Structure 1
Amino acid sequence: LLSEITDMIAEIAIAEPLPRWAVMWLLAGGVFLAGKLAMRAALGRVLPAPTRWEEVAWMALWPGMDAEAFFRRGAAPGRTVAGGAGLLAVLLGAGLIWGLARHLATPLAAGWVAMVGLVLVLHFGVFRLLAGCWQRQGRRVRPIMDRPVLALSLAEFWGQRWNRAFRDLAHRWIFRPVLRRRGRHAATVAVFLASGLVHELVITVPAGAGHGLPLTYFLIQALGMTLERRLFPGSAAVAGPGHLIPRWIFTHAFTLGPVFLLFPPPFVERVILPFLHFIHALP
């Protein structure tokens, strides 16, 4: 299904050349659509049967991938999402995009600041506000981002706090099948490999350069998970206070340290900067 969607996008781009940033959004939308359809099909029939409005809302008004949580009503698991933090993220992100970015000395710095702003507006802002809205409607959804800065391990960061939409999709279609056949280590590597390939599709393909760097970033994360188990055996929940700071430093050194591999300069220059000009964030 994903292959068919990407082929269709490629045909559109060939028929009428599109800006690189538009190709990026089309590819990202294709991946999102394929994931939505796959997760809905895996859930099968739901009792009571969803209305047409609920099906449309699942596809277009909720970025998460846990179909069962969305369609089966009940109390939301964990904390109920408040709207204040989401609204603050939207305002802060918008300030970075349409305020700070245009005043920076170098285009590359402006692009990076604006990318942080986009993540704040979408993932920490709009998506969080949607989670709160759907929870108040009785949906068992969780926010896509759950305070990743508090993660005390790479397993916690990638498995619970960062982009639960991709986590749920990868867990259902990659982790669980590989786990049954090859074990936990192979399943973990397979998920990071898949994540790397998806990011190659939406980052280096539109940019036309930097191939292999996003994949390298996620393979570094897989290596970090292996080191983590050896350096910090046991759960962070039972670790003493003296062990929490090294765990936190290790986690965020691995996630942030090689982040320039994930978004190489050609992507910022050829995709992000033209998009910022399009939305009038840069003069």
Structure 2
Amino acid sequence: MRSLPFFTLPFIAVLTLSSNALSNPAIPPVAVAPQYDTTHVYVAPDKVDVFVQAFLGTFGGKSTKQVVATVTPTPSSTTSQLLQTPVGTVSLFGFKTPIPYPFGLERNGYLVRDMDSAVKAARDAGASVVVDAFPDPIGRDAVIQWPGGLNMQLYWHTNHPNYDAFQTVPENRTYISPDAVEEFLKDFLSFSGGKIVADDSHASAAEIGQPDKTFRRIEILSDFGRMLLLVSDGHLPYPYGYETTGYEVQDIQQTLSKAQSLGVNVLVPAHQSGSRQTAMVQFPGGYIAEIHAVTK
């Protein structure tokens, strides 16, 4: 599912192709562009407005009009809206009914060019389709799962959206075990047409709350956007592992001060980790996110 409604403008302007996708004829390109990757956030209905105020107040941007809709293949009812900021987009849901399984377990939604082709491509690449394609009020959706247990949603619109590019592309922060990482990399790179742009097998684990350890840190870039693969032993102190997205800002202290004034709880204060200052925060309603600024 994804937040409703979206704006409708000509689709051709947003199509991009990665060189890897073009060079892999076995699986055709399915991605559109990073600004169509939305983080799925579920909060209680009475926390929706305060979350919107805090999230947009922290990062800027705007919300689409809130609607009430059924966005699952079985009966349900939720408020739904899209929060668009210069550093990332949230599909926000405030379910008024129990949430049908497995919704709420998916971390994000990727816009695809064609749903049937994308589902086939996901299967061909090694993903499991855990919710087969179904219609919603503005298009079609499916939920897939990659090795390691990573759930994501694919979505397609009857009337194609056109959004401005991000000022900074957010990270899809993915924790995975050493047992599953190689299979995940093979499958996801095949599906996304992406490439590994950094792979450090001895990165400081201070970034994931383990300052006395090292871990494998992999950066992936595709037409879906950025993914940071965190190969973890699972010995993670709270709140690491609960965040699904990392947001890049220009001034982290200024951002955190603004966030705190809006009721955001700083769970891990800003600290240096590699080439960035990073912090962990929790927004009203429970959503946990990483925020970072790149340092010279």
TM over 0.5, shorter chain: no
The normalised TM-score by structure 2 is 0.27
Pick the structure with more helix per residue.
1
State which structure, 1 or 2, has the greater radius of gyration over its C-alpha atoms: 1
